[in-house]
Amino acid sequence: MKNFLLTLLFLPLLIFGAEKTPSKIKEVTVYLNSALVEREATIKLKQGTSEYVFTGLSHKIDESSIQVSGLQSTSILSIAYDINYLNDELEFKNGDELKQHIETLELEIALLKNSILGLNEEEKVIKANRAVQSNSENLDLDKIKSISTYYRKRITEIKNQVYKTNLKINVLNDSIKIIKKQRAEKNNEPLIPKGEITIKFDAPLAAQLDLELKYTVNDAGWIPNYDIKSKKLNDPLSLAYKAHVFQQTGVQWDNVSLILSTGNPKKYTIKPNVSSHYLNFGPRKPVYTQVKKHKYNYNPTVKLVTGIVTDESGSPLPGCNVIVSGTNVGAQTDFDGMYAINVDKGKELSFSTIGFKSESIPIYSSVINTRLEENSEMLEEVVVVGYGTSDISRKVSGSVSGVRIRGNSYVENTPPLYIIDGVPVDNFLEDDLDKNEIQNIEILKDVNATAIYGSRATNGVVVITTKKSTAQDGITSTQFKIKKPYTVVSDGDITAIEINTYKLETKYEFFAAPLINENVFLTASFSDWEKLNLIPGEANIYFDGSYAGKTTIDPYTLKKEMTISLGVDSNVTVSRKQGKNFKSKSFTGSNRILNRTYNLEVKNNKILNIDLVLMDRIPISQNKEIKVDDIITNNAIYDKEKGLLTWKMKLASQQEIKESFSFEVKYPKGKSISL
């Protein structure tokens, strides 16, 4: 058994005389659910066949993805990927001093045991000599007493010395046990196996090769994350696009160049084949389930998910079952359609309730709101809840008066204070910054400038934000090449990386739908968002320098304009009340008649003038026995197909506006409907 273990230990060194070769990570392309690692190594080949083992790699490599380049005229005869579970690197990395101490004690024990063996041998010699003398000589009584005294004394000394030596050995063994325990505690890191790629080369001539070794690894990816900031009405929105990169590949990515890709290599990419479908009598055939488009990717950092479940009209769905797929962990939505569920052991949430299609969504965010469908699929508009902040007074596109950028020249007697990526820069000159590196330029003047930067900002402040990455659109994905190198450790923790920050020209409106919610929401709408290459992810919302909550942003919409809700504003109020109806007849013939009038009232208690969109609805009949007549919409824009009413209002400060609408519903007696 001992020889077998020794053979295993030295096996990597004995395989065909293969030479162990180190390599260094040069660049990593991180996908949403995996990563492409590019390593570089230099080897010297002799003419003919030789074999090299590239060690210290991840044990989670997809073997089919291994690529080698930089071969020149050399050929590859074979490539093999193996995992080495014999990891002695940990032993020498941790607890070297303890290991040496143990070896010293073990050596001392060995010497003491040798001493005992010597004493035992001396005892044997004494006993043997005594037997010889007693048989070969005629000894007188005095001589016998003298010899006996010597033997007794020396044997006693030997026995005592052996005893004392054994006591020392026991003490040393106890010390070794204590040290081994300490060493085990110090060496309590998990044993991480390492991957090895063995390549057999055939070189026509001796050569030195600078090789590039590429492969994909699992248990790695990145998660989009956004910061949405707005200070006040009519200010542009600031959208910070960030990535949370994680990996558990067993190898640290140390100070490497990173490329973030929106691609997802694990997606099902085989083109479907549509064949003829024939009808005939006989047993029922299986019903084929349509594969839905996956918009979201699993976020392993989420532990608790909250959200709201609604129907297609936006009304909350109480009693909806929310289950962590593949587990018995579940929750139900409350009266307002809200839920909260722990998701430590799951990757997908399943939503189901009577009368609606079930929906399964990957756990991509800590806030997941969903609408369940009754009849057909529905694309819903992006809604983000919260507030944001920004320190700008206005966005300036291209050039700014007083700013000197390469390719533009301006003259001003007293220069402003320049802030480059948050850092004040003195004596800013024309060639200090390439115009192509600028993401955004803003100006702070007068009180706004001095309030933030003090007396240095007397002549104004020019705030310049540079690009943190360069984006390149591919056929099926977008890649962000990060300019700054990063270290990403293999522990699953998040490394936050800024992709870019954008300033978005924004239209602000207040929105109210008192039929569903009596709160008034401040919304921000912007276009051209498609150019930002956004993907679904969490968003942190800030307003006036304060954190106001978390939500999600979902760019998968067909609308050209994305609407973001910045939260509830209590300074704008709305009410909806059913009016009294004094019509004399509630029955006619075999029918029952219901008359409904609703009065809406909106008031702007803010000191600013605002734009507000008010919405309500009139029911639509899906049965010929139910008639909806006498519709009066007054000032509303009426969508007859959907039954939706919309008022677009401009309210001055302290202004109050009242609106109303009415309709009549006729249906057979003895039946009931829900208005």
Nearest to 497 by CA among 488, 509, 508, 506: 488
Nearest-angstrom CA–CA distance, 633 and 621: 17
- Pseudo-torsion of CA 427, 432, 433, 435, nearest 10°? 100
- CB-CB neighbours of 582 under 10 Å: 6
Mean pLDDT of the chain: 79
Q: Which of 31-35, 181-185, 363-367, 417-421 has the highest mean pLDDT?
A: 31-35
Min mean pLDDT across 15-24, 62-71, 137-146, 507-516 is at 137-146
What residues contact 463, with CB distance under 8 A and at least 6 apart? Answer: 391, 392, 419, 441, 442, 443, 444
Domain CATH for 644: 2.60.40
Segment 311-326 mean pLDDT: 86
**Could you tell me the pLDDT band of residue 410, with boundaries at 50, 70 and 90?**
very low
Please check whether residues 98 and 210 belong to one and the same domain: no
The domain containing residue 200 runs over which residues?
13-87+191-217
Question: What pLDDT sits at residue 9?
Answer: 41
- Residues with Cβ within 8 Å of 518's Cβ and at least 6 positions away in sequence, in order, are 574, 575, 576
Query: Is residue 468 one of the residues assigned to a domain?
Result: no
Q: 270 lies in a domain?
A: no
One domain, residues 56 and 201: yes
* Cα(70)–Cα(154) distance, integer angstroms: 78
**pLDDT at residue 123 is higher than 90:** no
Residues 37 and 182 in one domain: no
| Residue 56 shares a structural domain with residue 127 | no
Helix (DSSP H) and strand (DSSP E) numbers for the chain: 6, 40
CA–CA dist 663, 105 (Å, integer): 97
Q: Which two structure tokens, joined as six digits, stand for 33?
A: 């659910």
Do residues 176 and 103 lie in contact, with contact meaning Cβ atoms separated by under 8 Å? no
Residue 441, in any domain of the structure: no
Residue 99 included in any domain: yes
- Are 80 and 195 within one domain? yes
Which whole number is the average pLDDT over 24-41?
Answer: 94
Which of 186, 203, 233 delimits the end of a domain?
Answer: 186
636 located within any domain: yes
pLDDT of the residue at 496: 92
Give yes or no: residues 78 and 105 share one domain. Answer: no
Q: What's the pLDDT score for residue 567?
A: 79
Give the model's confidence band at 337: pLDDT under 50 very low, under 70 low, under 90 confident, else very high. confident
What pLDDT shows up at residue 584? 41
Separation of alpha carbons 319 and 317, rounded Å: 7
390 has pLDDT over 60: no
The tally of domains found in the chain comes to: 4
Instruction: Report, as an integer, the average pLDDT of 604-615.
Output: 93
Does 3 fall in a domain? Answer: no
Average of per-residue pLDDT across 493-512: 90
Domain boundary pick from 313, 333, 363: 363
Place of tokens 């936050």: 496
User: Residue 540 falls within a domain, yes or no?
Assistant: no
Please tell me whether residues 200 and 71 are part of one structural domain: yes
Give which of 618, 636, 635 is closest to 627, Cα–Cα. Answer: 618
pLDDT-derived band at 139 (thresholds 50, 70, 90) equals low
220 — pLDDT class (breaks 50, 70, 90) = very high
In this predicted structure, the answer to whether residue 186 has a pLDDT above a threshold of 70 is no
Together in a domain, 146 and 197: no
> CB–CB of 625/668 below 8 Å?
yes
pLDDT of residue 382: 34
pLDDT of residue 645: 95
Choose one of 169, 186, 203: the last residue of a domain: 186
Q: What is the CATH number of the domain that holds 341?
A: 2.60.40.1120
Q: Is 173 helix (H, G, I), strand (E, B) or coil?
A: helix
Residues 22 and 70 in one domain: yes
**What pTM value is reported for the model?**
0.60
Residue pLDDT, tens place only, 530-578 = 788 888 888 888 877 778 777 778 777 656 777 777 878 889 999 999 8
**pLDDT for the residue numbered 69:** 92
Question: Which of 9-13, 23-27, 492-496 bottoms out in mean pLDDT, i.e. has the lowest?
Answer: 9-13
- Judgement on whether residues 664 and 578 belong to the same structural domain of the protein: yes
For range 402-423, the mean pLDDT:
60
Q: What is the mean pLDDT of residues 611-632?
A: 92
Give yes or no: residues 74 and 202 share one domain: yes
In a domain, residue 415? The reply is no
User: Does the pLDDT at position 486 exceed 50?
Assistant: yes
pLDDT for position 134: 56
Q: Which of the residue ranges 142-146, 441-445, 664-668 has the most confident prediction, judged by mean pLDDT?
A: 664-668
Q: Which band of pLDDT confidence, cut at 50, 70 and 90, is reported for residue 267? A: low
Residues 175, 117 share a domain:
yes
Share of the chain above pLDDT 70, in %: 79
